Amino acid sequence: MMENGLINPENQRRRVVFVTGASSGLGKATVSHFLSKGWSVVATARDPRNLPVGSASDNLVSLRLDLSDPDSIQSAVMQAEDRFGHIDVLINNAGSGLAGPLEAMDASMLQKHFEINVIGAASVTKAVLPGMRYRRAGTIVNVTSVAGRLGLPFMAPYVASKFALEGLTESLRYELAPFGIKVRLVEPSGIRTRFEHEWVSDAPYDRQLATVRGRMAAGMAKAALPEKVANVVYRAAVSGGSTLRFPTRDASVLLLMKSLLPDAFMQAFMRAQFL
């Protein structure tokens, strides 16, 4: 908070986290978790009406941020730095879901999906880096998915965007290390939230698609609560080690299976699960 043009010294001492996609689900749970740990929190979303509201003296500020709008990204980061003086941790959580047969999707749908899930996360990261480089400290936490390391039927665009974000994050790990900036990945499996994929259908695939959607819906009923995953996000943010990837427990099981099982067995398992 500014006092006579100066940053409140109390805010300089607090650790500050900047969270995208904070209006619901994992983002909302992450905001609550960091607040409970005494952090100052910048909660952002495309529609700020759905964000928690703090008073001028609180350690919470809610801001509009549209991942498809570079000006809104830059404005949100500048407002956060004006309010709290710095950003210690960025949580790139916001994203979109696109599902269905690739044959039914046009190029504009794919482009929009990648603009949000990959270019949007890269743009927010780019906006916070000057301040982190100057301070030679900071942590970037990108929330991907088990789908960033494992193919899923009728989820090709979503999986591709998560694979891309995994590659971007792993590359930044090396690129930013000389500046004292840590980079982390959080890899959930299912999360029990209201997040919904935009489903596209096509007649030749209708039977398979109905099966996949039904099994995914059943799986969501057993998925991890967002509060559980928020704890993993927090652990990744404060980790002092060199670990890059922080999968949730259920994601760890799937990834271990993929690493140990022959490809033919893994393919049979995935078909049995979804098709």
191 within a domain of the structure (yes/no): yes
2 within a domain of the structure (yes/no): no
pTM of the model: 0.89
Token couple for 170: 């792993």
* CB-based contact 76:22 (threshold 8 Å): no
Based on the residue annotation, tell me whether 158 is a catalytic residue of this protein: yes
3 within a domain of the structure (yes/no): no
77 within a domain of the structure (yes/no): yes
Query: For residue range 181-194, what is the model confidence (pLDDT) as tens digits?
Result: 999 999 998 777 66
The count of structural domains within the chain is 1
Token couple for 23: 């209006």
184 within a domain of the structure (yes/no): yes
Q: Which of 158, 174, 205, 234 is catalytic?
A: 158
Query: For residue range 78-124, what is the model confidence (pLDDT) as tens digits?
Result: 999 999 999 999 999 998 888 889 999 999 999 999 999 999 999 99
CATH number for the domain spanning 254: value is 3.40.50.720
229 within a domain of the structure (yes/no): yes
4 within a domain of the structure (yes/no): no
Can you give the pLDDT at residue 2? Answer: 42
Query: For residue range 109-163, what is the model confidence (pLDDT) as tens digits?
Result: 999 999 999 999 999 999 999 999 999 999 999 999 999 999 988 989 999 999 9
Separation CA 87–CA 207 (nearest Å): 48
215 within a domain of the structure (yes/no): yes
Separation CA 182–CA 180 (nearest Å): 6
Separation CA 189–CA 252 (nearest Å): 9
Domain range for residue 16? Answer: 9-274
